[in-house]
Amino acid sequence: MLTATDVPWVHGLTIGQVLAETARKFPDEDACVFPKLAYRLSWSQLDSQVSVVARGLLAMGVRPGEHVAIWATNVPEWVLLQFATAKIGAVLVTINPAYRAYELRFVLSQCDAVALFLVDRFKSSDYFSMLGEVCPELAECTPGNLRSEAFPRLRHVVAIQGQAPAGALSWSQMLEAGTAMSCERITTIERTLMPLDPINIQYTSGTTGFPKAAMLSHQNLLLNAYYVGACQLLSQRDRVCIPVPFYHCFGCVLGTLCCAVYGATMIIPGEYFNAADTLAAIESERATAVYGVPTMFIAELEDPTFSNRDLRSLRTGIMAGSPCPIEIMRQVIERMGAHQITIAYGQTEASPVVTQTRIEDSLELRVETVGSPIPGVEAKIVDPLTRETLEDNQQGEFCSRGHVVMLGYYKSPEATAEAIDADGWLHSGDLAVRLPSGHFKITGRLKDMVIRGGENIFPREIEEFLYTHPAVQQSAVVGIPDAKYGEELCAWIQLKSGASTTAEELREFCRENLAHFKVPRYVRLVDEFPQTVTGKIQKFRIREIMRQELGNSDQHR
């Protein structure tokens, strides 16, 4: 059994060094497979292609420490860019593909990116159009010479797919420019990089109305990938199916980096999650591991093609994002064959995994708990008011300390101080209990965060946005139980005197400006809110009223 005293081979290395070493050890083994695209690279080919992309970045003038944003679905270029930015010490800023113009404007202005890589479109989202809406100067500039009032640091826009819009480079043009750069330049830069350098910024929804930018280092990510893989007993013989999005730590740490650390194959079923595509990829590529949130596993088990699939290659994987019903876990083990599936818990600010079940844990422990801390990490439960450490079986706030803890929030020292105390403990905001066995149970949330289908949503962010509608006086957003997604959003809205609009018009307003998972499923126009004597809205009463109105809401779809 792996312990904290074992020194991981990735300790003291950077992501680029880890990729190079894995390519040296397993040059001809599959590294990256996109079955639907007939795209397949060995580890030596991946390392070579990453260097080509890194040279392209250098040709654009990207320097170590500068920020490079990517707004894209799970495409091959995402993987190449992740390793290429790390190789030259640029910080990769991941942007949720579901974001709309309103959210893009905030992230681009806050993150100080010098370059933005994006796909042309995804489903109903026209990325080029949304970028043009928030950055109209792009259409008037030449590639590499963007001067934007809203985004003063942004110099380059690169189109990963589609016809590059005016003012932007295409992916192939960026690569072509890189041929003029020497490989020695990359080698020189890599010698200057340190494991504790920030290398990734992940946005996490914030309680103050806008997402916060968690800064993560090479060491944060590599040690997380190493230990999470160890809990699954991964090796170069494993093939990991990754239907979860790359923009999230689940995809780009537990997925791509975990595979790079162990020489396992990353199998990407498609640009976005589709149950049939995931099952097809597991079968055709003989995947030994599969990742997902409970909603994804439910969709796979219910897919019409499931009964005809040969999934006997499956052994392990990770289920995370929200609590797993015991019956679903049982079916994943018995019907899908992933008898060594694990449960992981964490937060973006923790790189992301803090606790994980082990393959030898019983079914009950894998369903009723989120496991025990990964090696090198301390966890404790504290009284939310006094912050005194509590004994076993007492509910309090879950806190963690160790190599998982982020460097801090970018440009937010106050928020960083709130999240990480003077002794280095990261406060999760989650309520939990520690069992005598050392396993932890998550029992609730100090704040009113909603988890819908594995997406963390903070109601305050949606409330702040609703206030921008000219008819809205006040709003309260809560989560209510849902059988499919775990929770659904419900918004109670009070209109301004004399104003007129409908619930559907407000939903459409949200759909046009917010990621789909942030659009309230239920909208109620109300004259007043249940309040305390001091005027504070009682959200628990709203939840109770909605449950009564919807009937048995935990079965409502």
Interval 321-333: pLDDT, tens: 877 778 888 999 9
In this model, does residue 384 exceed pLDDT 50? Answer: yes
Q: How confident is the model at residue 553 (pLDDT cuts 50, 70, 90)?
A: very low
Question: Residue 207: its pLDDT value, please?
Answer: 39
The pTM is what?
A: 0.87
427 occurs within a structural domain: no
Residues pairing with 69 in the sheet: 93, 116
* Rg of the chain, C-alpha, whole Å: 23
> Are residues 312 and 169 part of one domain?
yes
Distance between CA atoms of residues 555 and 294, nearest Å: 16
Per-range mean pLDDT, top range of 39-53, 352-366, 448-462, 537-551: 39-53
Q: How confident is the model at residue 86 (pLDDT cuts 50, 70, 90)?
A: very high
Q: Which of 29-38, 131-140, 210-219, 543-552 has the lowest mean pLDDT?
A: 543-552
Distance between CA atoms of residues 99 and 102, nearest Å: 8
What is the residue-averaged pLDDT of the chain? 93
432 occurs within a structural domain: no
Nearest to 15 by CA among 75, 81, 63: 81
Half-sphere exposure of 172 (CA within 13 A, CB side): 4
Distance between CA atoms of residues 62 and 129, nearest Å: 25
In this model, does residue 76 exceed pLDDT 50? Answer: yes
> Are residues 455 and 329 part of one domain?
no
204 occurs within a structural domain: yes
Question: Residue 367: its pLDDT value, please?
Answer: 84
Strand pairing class (522-525; 156-159): unpaired
Question: Residue 295: its pLDDT value, please?
Answer: 83
**Which amino acid, 175?**
L
CATH number at residue 172: 3.40.50.12780
Distance between CA atoms of residues 405 and 413, nearest Å: 15
- Report the 3 state secondary structure along 173-196: HHHHHHCCCCHHHHHHHHHHCCCC
In this model, does residue 273 exceed pLDDT 70? Answer: yes
**410-445 pLDDT per residue, tens:** 999 999 999 999 999 999 988 899 999 999 998 877
Question: Residue 46: its pLDDT value, please?
Answer: 98
Nearest to 243 by CA among 36, 516, 452: 36
Residues pairing with 427 in the sheet: 399
Contact between 303 and 292 (Cβ < 8 Å) = no
Question: Residue 461: its pLDDT value, please?
Answer: 84
For helices 218-231 and 15-25, angle between their N-to-C axes, nearest 10 degrees: 40
Nearest to 419 by CA among 433, 436, 404: 404
Question: Residue 368: its pLDDT value, please?
Answer: 86
364 occurs within a structural domain: no
415 occurs within a structural domain: no
424 occurs within a structural domain: no
In this model, does residue 313 exceed pLDDT 90? Answer: yes
Question: Residue 213: its pLDDT value, please?
Answer: 97
37 occurs within a structural domain: yes
Output phi, psi for 525, to 5 deg.
Answer: -90, 125
Please state the domain count of the chain.
2
Q: Which of 292, 314, 334 is the last residue of a domain?
A: 334
Q: How confident is the model at residue 5 (pLDDT cuts 50, 70, 90)?
A: low
Range of the domain at 324: 15-334
In this model, does residue 382 exceed pLDDT 80? Answer: yes
- Report the 3 state secondary structure along 404-425: CCCCEECCCHHHHHHHECCCCC
In this model, does residue 250 exceed pLDDT 60? Answer: yes
Of the chain, the end-to-end C-alpha distance in Å amounts to 43
Contact between 483 and 504 (Cβ < 8 Å) = no
Distance between CA atoms of residues 79 and 246, nearest Å: 8
**11-53 pLDDT per residue, tens:** 999 999 999 999 999 999 999 999 999 999 999 999 999 999 9
Contact between 209 and 457 (Cβ < 8 Å) = no
6 occurs within a structural domain: no
Kindly report whether the peptide bond that precedes residue 27 is cis, defined as omega within 30 degrees of 0: no
Q: Which of 300, 334, 368 is the last residue of a domain?
A: 334
Distance between CA atoms of residues 174 and 86, nearest Å: 17
Question: Residue 202: its pLDDT value, please?
Answer: 97
Q: Which of 334, 350, 379 is the last residue of a domain?
A: 334
CATH number at residue 508: 3.30.300.30
Cα–Cα separations (whole angstroms), residue 518 to 452, 477, 488, 511, 557: 9, 10, 9, 8, 17
Question: Residue 554: its pLDDT value, please?
Answer: 42
